[in-house]
C-alpha cells in the first residue's frame, strides 16, 4: 500500500507540485487580469475567466420558481414560504413495526431502538410503489440514513468519555438506515404505515456482504470474518443515491471517529500509514465504543476500519435483501452516490470525499444498464473504472483512472492489486495529482440539462497560498458550487469543462465575496455552507445547508435557484430549520407535489437536561425527524411554483 502521512504532512507534500494558484496566476498574468494578490482579489481576478454570467441561453422562459422567499431565523420551529404546510412525518424513536415498543427516552435499550426509527436522519429518497418505475406520487417507500448519534441529547446524565455499555449499544442500534412506507392522506398531509411489510431497520450490527475487488483482501479479514467477505453493520451513513434499477446506495462517511488506538500499531506496519491518511485517532476514540466492543480497538482488530468507508447497496422493495458493500466505488468519506446512465448504457456514479482538501470521484460501470431486467443490474457496481477529478485553471478538467498497474499505481509505490487501490483510494488519488477541494459534499446531475453540480461546503483551512481556480477563496467559510459539463454531455467522458456557479455568503457583506452566477446580489437570500442538493423536474437546483449557525448565527435552511435562463443564480430561501439542527437532505415525490426533508440533530451543542431546542413536539427530548412539505391548499401544483 502507498505510504500515508498525517493530514498536514500529506497536504504539504501534495502542494510541492505546481499549485493551481501558480497556474492561475501565470494564466491571468498573460491576460492582464492580475493586479494584486490572487486570494485577496479572487472574485475580481477570476471573474472574466470562470465566473462570467452565461449569455448562451436562447429564449427567456417564464420563471418556474415563484414562491415568496423567507428571512433567516433563530426560532425553534420550522418556517416555510407562505402558502405551504409542514407535517412531521416520523421522529427518532417512532416504532416502525406493530410489535415495536413506543418511544421512551428514559428506558431506551438496543433491542427497542433496533425496532424504532433511528437517530440523526440524513440522506433520504422516495421510492414509489408498487415498483421503482411507478408514477405513483401518493404512496412509496422512504429510505432514510441515520448518520451518527448525539448521546448528550439522548441520555440523561451522559458522561462524555465514559458511557455505559447500554448507552453505547443504543447508539450502535440508532445508526444505519430506516425504510418505511409512506402515504398521502386524501385530505392532505403524509403519514407512515406502521404495519407495512416493507418497513425495515439496518443498524451498526446488521450483517452485510462485501463485494468487488477488495472482498477477501488480507486487510479485510478479522477474527469475526476470517474470509474478509462480510461485516457487521454500516456506520456514519451520510448521503446516498438511487440507482436506475431502483436500489438504495447509502454512503459511509466519517467512519474514522468510531475507532481507537492507531498508535498501538508499529510504525513500520503499512496499515498504520493508511489509517493515518484516513484520520483514525492515535489513542482513545471520542465515543469510547472500544470500551465494550473490541472491534473498534485497533490494538485488537487493526483491520476492522478497512471494512468501513464504502457505498452500500440495498433493495428497498425486498425486506430480505442482504446489503452489499460495493468496494469497486472506492473507500473514503463518501458523500453521495449519484447515478446517471451514459450515452452507451453504462452507469456513472458521482461521489465526493467530505473532508478539507479531498477529492471528487466518478465510477463508470463496465457493463450496461438493462432496463428490461431489473435484477440483471444487481452486480453492475462490482466491475468498472473509478476516476478522480483534476480541475485545470482554464475551465477544463479530466478524470484520472484509479487502476492498478497504470501510472504510479504499481508495486514500486506500494500497490499490488486493485484491492489495494480501493482500500487506499485516497493514497492512490494523491499519487495521481488530483485536485484538492473544499469539502466536496453532494454531487448531483441536472435531469434537464445533464450538467453536474458539485457542492463544496466550506474550508476555513485554505490559505492565500492554497487558493486555485476551482477553490478561489482563502478562509472559505461559506462554501461554493461548481457546475461541471461532461464532454459531449456524456457521463462516461474522461474530460469536462467547468465554472463556478455560486460563491455562497451574505450579499450585503462585501468581505464574503459572494457571487450568484452573475445575478443581482441585492435580490438574493444569504446562504452559507451548502450541503445536500437535488433538482426538481424543471431543472431548478434545491440546496440544503449545514453550518449557518456558525457563520450567520441563524438556523440552517433550504433554498432554490434556477440554473438556466434570466433568473440563473437567483437564490431564494424556501424553508428555515431549528436551533442546532442541520437541514440534512431533501427529496421530491415523482410529481414534485411534496418535498421530504430531514432535520438532523436539533439542539446540537446543548444537553438533554438543558436543550436549546424542543422541536418537534415542544417537549424534551429534541428529536431528529423527517418532515413533508406541501401546498396548504393541496392540489397538483408543484413545489416552488
pLDDT digits 0-9 by tens, 491-516: 999 999 999 999 999 999 999 999 99
Q: Distance between CA atoms of 128 and 45, rounded to whole angstroms?
A: 48
- Give the model's pLDDT for residue 62: 74
Confidence check: pLDDT of 462 > 50? yes
Q: Distance between CA atoms of 636 and 634, rounded to whole angstroms?
A: 7
- Give the model's pLDDT for residue 283: 98
Confidence check: pLDDT of 45 > 50? no
Confidence check: pLDDT of 40 > 80? no
Residue ranges of domains in the chain: 7-253+309-631
Q: Which helix (H) or strand (E) holds 113?
A: helix 110-113
Q: Of 455, 553, 566, nearest to 506 (Cα)?
A: 553
More confident of the two residues 31 and 301 = 301
Q: Of 496, 483, 462, nearest to 568 (Cα)?
A: 483
Confidence check: pLDDT of 604 > 90? yes
CA angle 430, 435, 438 (to 5 degrees): 110
Q: Which of 12-26, 48-62, 216-230 has the highest mean pLDDT?
A: 216-230
Confidence check: pLDDT of 304 > 60? yes
- Give the model's pLDDT for residue 25: 41
Confidence check: pLDDT of 29 > 70? no
* pTM for the model: 0.92
| 479 within 8 A of 456, measured Cβ to Cβ | yes
Q: Distance between CA atoms of 341 and 343, rounded to whole angstroms?
A: 7
Q: Is 411 exposed, middle or buried (0-12, 13-18, 19+ CB in 10 A)?
A: exposed
Confidence check: pLDDT of 17 > 60? no
| 569 within 8 A of 524, measured Cβ to Cβ | yes
- Mean pLDDT in residue range 100-107: 96
- Give the model's pLDDT for residue 149: 98
pLDDT digits (tens, 9 = 90+) for 308-321: 999 999 999 999 99
- Mean pLDDT in residue range 589-608: 97
Strands 207-211 and 324-326: parallel
35-49, 88-102, 221-235, 387-401: least confidently modelled range: 35-49
Confidence check: pLDDT of 575 > 70? yes
pLDDT digits (tens, 9 = 90+) for 51-77: 444 444 445 567 889 999 999 999 999
What is the band of 41 on the pLDDT scale with cuts at 50, 70, 90? very low
Q: Is 449 exposed, middle or buried (0-12, 13-18, 19+ CB in 10 A)?
A: middle
- Give the model's pLDDT for residue 43: 36
Percent pLDDT > 90 in the chain is: 88
Q: Distance between CA atoms of 265 and 273, rounded to whole angstroms?
A: 10
Q: Of 143, 53, 86, nearest to 574 (Cα)?
A: 86
| 301 within 8 A of 309, measured Cβ to Cβ | no
- Give the model's pLDDT for residue 61: 65
**What residues have CB less than 8 Å from 29, skipping those under 6 apart?**
none
| 388 within 8 A of 409, measured Cβ to Cβ | no
Amino acid at each position: 500500500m502507498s505510504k500515508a502521512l498525517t493530514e498536514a504532512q500529506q497536504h504539504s507534500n501534495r502542494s510541492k507540485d505546481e499549485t493551481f494558484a501558480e497556474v492561475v496566476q501565470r494564466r491571468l498574468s498573460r491576460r492582464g487580469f492580475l493586479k494584486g494578490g490572487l486570494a485577496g482579489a479572487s472574485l475580481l481576478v477570476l471573474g472574466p475567466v470562470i465566473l462570467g454570467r452565461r449569455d448562451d441561453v436562447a429564449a427567456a422562459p417564464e420563471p418556474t420558481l415563484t414562491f415568496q422567499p423567507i428571512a433567516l431565523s433563530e426560532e425553534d420551529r420550522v418556517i416555510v414560504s407562505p402558502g405551504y404546510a409542514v407535517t412531521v412525518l416520523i421522529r427518532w424513536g417512532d416504532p416502525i413495526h406493530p410489535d415495536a415498543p413506543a418511544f421512551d427516552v428514559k428506558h431506551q435499550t438496543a433491542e427497542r431502538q433496533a425496532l424504532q426509527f433511528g437517530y440523526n436522519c440524513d440522506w433520504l429518497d422516495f421510492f414509489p410503489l408498487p415498483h421503482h418505475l411507478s408514477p405513483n406520487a401518493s404512496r412509496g417507500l422512504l429510505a432514510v440514513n441515520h448518520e451518527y448519534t448525539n448521546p448528550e441529547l439522548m441520555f440523561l446524565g451522559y458522561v462524555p468519555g465514559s458511557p455505559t455499555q447500554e448507552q453505547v449499544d443504543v447508539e450502535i442500534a440508532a445508526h444505519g438506515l430506516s425504510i418505511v412506507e409512506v402515504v398521502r392522506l386524501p385530505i392532505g398531509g403524509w403519514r407512515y404505515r406502521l404495519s407495512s411489510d416493507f418497513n425495515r431497520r439496518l443498524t451498526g450490527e446488521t450483517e452485510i456482504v462485501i463485494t468487488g475487488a477488495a472482498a477477501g483482501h488480507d486487510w479485510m479479514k478479522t477474527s469475526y470474518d476470517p474470509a474478509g467477505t462480510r461485516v457487521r453493520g454500516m456506520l456514519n451513513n451520510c448521503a446516498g443515491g438511487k440507482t436506475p434499477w431502483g436500489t438504495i446506495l447509502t454512503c459511509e462517511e466519517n467512519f474514522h471517529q468510531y475507532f481507537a488506538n492507531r498508535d498501538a500499531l508499529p510504525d513500520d506496519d503499512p496499515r498504520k500509514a493508511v489509517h493515518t491518511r484516513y484520520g483514525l485517532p492515535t489513542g482513545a476514540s471520542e465515543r469510547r465504543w472500544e470500551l465494550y466492543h473490541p472491534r473498534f480497538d485497533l490494538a485488537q482488530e487493526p483491520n476492522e476500519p478497512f471494512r468501513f468507508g464504502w457505498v452500500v447497496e440495498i433493495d428497498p422493495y425486498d425486506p430480505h435483501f442482504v446489503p452489499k458493500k460495493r468496494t469497486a466505488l472506492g473507500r473514503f468519506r463518501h458523500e453521495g452516490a449519484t447515478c446517471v446512465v451514459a450515452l452507451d448504457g453504462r452507469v456513472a456514479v458521482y461521489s465526493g470525499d467530505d473532508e478539507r482538501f479531498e477529492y471528487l470521484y466518478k465510477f463508470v460501470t463496465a457493463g450496461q444498464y438493462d432496463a428490461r431486467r431489473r435484477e440483471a443490474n444487481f452486480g453492475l457496481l462490482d466491475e468498472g473504472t473509478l476516476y478522480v477529478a483534476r480541475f485545470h485553471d482554464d475551465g477544463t478538467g479530466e478524470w484520472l483512472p484509479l487502476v492498478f498497474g497504470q501510472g504510479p499505481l504499481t508495486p514500486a509505490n506500494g500497490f499490488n492489486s486493485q484491492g489495494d487501490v480501493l482500500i487506499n483510494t485516497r493514497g492512490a488519488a494523491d499519487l495521481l495529482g488530483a485536485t484538492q477541494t473544499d469539502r466536496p459534499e453532494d454531487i448531483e446531475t441536472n435531469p434537464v440539462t445533464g450538467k453536474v453540480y458539485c457542492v463544496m461546503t466550506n474550508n476555513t483551512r485554505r490559505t492565500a497560498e492554497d487558493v486555485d481556480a476551482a477553490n478561489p477563496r482563502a478562509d472559505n467559510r461559506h462554501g461554493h458550487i461548481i457546475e461541471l459539463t461532461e464532454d459531449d454531455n456524456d457521463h462516461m467522458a474522461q474530460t469536462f469543462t467547468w465554472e463556478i456557479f455560486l460563491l455562497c455568503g451574505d450579499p450585503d457583506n462585501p468581505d464574503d465575496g459572494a457571487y450568484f452566477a452573475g445575478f443581482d446580489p441585492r435580490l438574493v437570500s444569504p446562504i452559507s455552507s451548502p450541503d445536500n442538493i437535488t433538482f426538481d423536474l424543471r431543472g431548478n437546483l434545491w440546496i440544503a445547508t449545514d453550518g449557518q449557525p456558525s457563520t450567520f448565527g441563524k438556523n440552517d435552511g433550504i433554498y432554490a435557484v434556477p440554473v438556466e435562463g434570466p433568473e440563473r443564480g437567483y437564490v431564494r430561501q424556501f424553508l428555515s430549520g431549528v436551533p442546532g439542527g442541520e437541514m440534512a437532505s431533501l427529496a421530491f415525490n415523482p410529481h414534485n407535489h411534496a418535498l421530504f426533508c430531514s432535520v438532523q440533530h436539533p439542539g446540537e451543542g446543548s444537553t438533554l437536561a438543558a436543550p436549546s431546542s424542543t422541536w418537534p413536539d415542544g417537549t424534551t427530548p429534541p428529536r431528529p425527524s423527517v418532515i413533508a412539505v406541501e401546498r396548504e391548499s393541496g392540489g397538483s401544483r408543484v413545489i416552488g411554483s
